[in-house]
Amino acid sequence: MAGKRYFEKWRGKDTIHLLPHSPQHQHHVHSPSPPSPSEIHITMTMTGAYLSLFAFIAAYASHIPTNVLSLSSTTSRCLIRICHNKDCTKHGGGEQLLNVFRDLLPGASDDPPRVTIESSGCLSQCGKGPNVAVIGSDKKEQFFFGVVDPTTASAVLDVATGVEFPIQLLVAATSIVEAEHTASIDKKEAILSSVIAELSNEDSSLINSFARAHALFLRADARLDMSPADIAGAVDDATLASQLAPSERKVWRVLSSAHEANGNIMEAINAVRKWGVVDPSFATKAKKEIERLQLLM
């Protein structure tokens, strides 16, 4: 059955739910019909300002408070495994989907986190993907098939984990995916800037979220590719992203590139060293990169 978007009263507040029908029966996650790109992303020709999905929500759903996307309130911890096999990756799974799940989670408020997300080998469900397995505190494993975007990922979080996250993170995850698939560097930078602006407020669940760090290091990379490059802006973005997500290897790679472009070779080398520590599988590449940078000193 197709998914459905609907509104209801929950604890006295208007909330929006994005849920699949009968998930416990089939575990096929169907995405509700999303707004078209022209509805989501609006260009204001008068001012040149670029409005992302945040503006769409503000304009067409202003009666929905933006503080909460309601989900059930279970307190159990769980592990989400994202299939990285080539079949799932080809259809939008793998690292891209892993980052979508990370983008949906608010800044950590407890240690260890209630939801752990990790990559997985083949989940033996080929042809149904992208596939996701959720292992609860009871050690039982649930499979979800066809998890292809932020909406279906949010449905998995709702059905299988019961985590609560601000609606801004669903919006942010959707916009980040849009930015990653945008060919125009200027448009990409504009989309990411709108995400960062929305998440840079006093709400700690937003300001400390992976989604904010993700948007920051993607914008840093985009700023390096702009003509002319915004090198200072890229350094600032990547530096802040490294503080928010120090365990994300791509942060350090982008930070190294930004420092190199800025002429700070020693800082670039330090970032590459951190990259090799964070992800030992890249230690050999990091060593070669350090050797290359040392020749520039």
State residue 62's pLDDT score.
37
Q: Which residues partner with 101 through β-bridges?
A: none
Q: Do 194 and 54 contact (CB within 8 A), yes or no?
A: yes
The parts of the chain modelled with pLDDT lower than 50 are 1-26, 30-74, 109-110
Domain 167-294 matching CATH 3.20.20.105: the answer reads no
Instruction: Say if 4-161 and 167-294 have the same CATH topology.
Output: no
- Provide the residue ranges of all domains of the chain, joining segments of one domain with +: 4-161, 167-294
Report the distance separating Cα 276 and Cα 282, nearest Å. Answer: 6
CA distance 36 to 173: 16
Structure tokens at 96: 């891209």
Q: For position 58, what pLDDT does the model report?
A: 40
DSSP state of 159: I
Cα–Cα distance measured from residue 43 to residue 49, given in angstroms and rounded to the nearest whole number: 7
At 83 the pLDDT is 94
Reduced to 3 states (helix: H, G, I; strand: E, B; else coil), residue 280 is helix
d(CA 262, CA 234): 9
CATH number of 4-161: 3.40.30.10
Report how far residue 190's alpha carbon sits from residue 193's, in angstroms, rounded to the nearest whole number. Answer: 5
Radius of gyration of the chain (CA): 20
Q: What is the pLDDT of residue 43?
A: 28
Q: Which pTM value belongs to this model?
A: 0.76
Burial environment of residue 103 by CB neighbours within 10 A (0 to 12, 13 to 18, 19 or more): buried
Q: What pLDDT is recorded for position 108? A: 54
